[in-house]
Amino acid sequence: MSVLTPERVEQRLVNLSKEIDYAHDDLVQAEARYHKAKSAYELGMARVRLSFSDSDTKLRVQKIEDLALTTNADAFIELNDAEAMVKAARGNAIRLRMQVDITRSVGTSVRASMEV
């Protein structure tokens, strides 16, 4: 087992800082993809619902919603995929913040033990 020094703790914090920057970039991209997918999905749903407003056929609201959803299935899948990516990116950012907190605590302990 190697000795943990303040320099190693500092290097770990530097590395985590870089990881946080990358994680932030990933989250920004995932958020942009999500909002683009959400807009496409909602517009597609609205188009289908509106197409039935001119129809003489009386359909139940649920049937119209089901038809709109099946018509926009690809957009719905893309939206859910984008949402999952946002959740994963947020989870990664939280994980990195926790690692920073833990590393800071370890660094404090290492410095205290070296002073003894």
Report whether 86 contacts 37 (CB < 8 A): no
Q: How many CB atoms lie within 10 A of CB 116?
A: 4
Position 102 scores a pLDDT of 94
State how far the Cα of 47 lies from the Cα of 44, in Å rounded to an integer. Answer: 5
DSSP state of 20: H
Take residue 40 and report the two structure tokens written for it: 């496409």
Report whether 67 contacts 48 (CB < 8 A): yes
pLDDT in tens, the chain (116 residues): 577 888 899 999 999 999 999 999 999 999 999 999 999 999 999 998 888 777 667 778 888 889 899 999 999 999 999 999 999 999 999 999 999 999 999 988 888 888 76
Q: Would you list the domain boundaries of the chain? A: 6-115
Take residue 106 and report the two structure tokens written for it: 């370890």
Residues written for the chain: 116
Q: What is the fold, at CATH topology level, of the domain defined by 6-115?
A: Helix Hairpins (1.10.287)
Where do runs of H (alpha helix) occur along 52-116? 61-71, 73-115
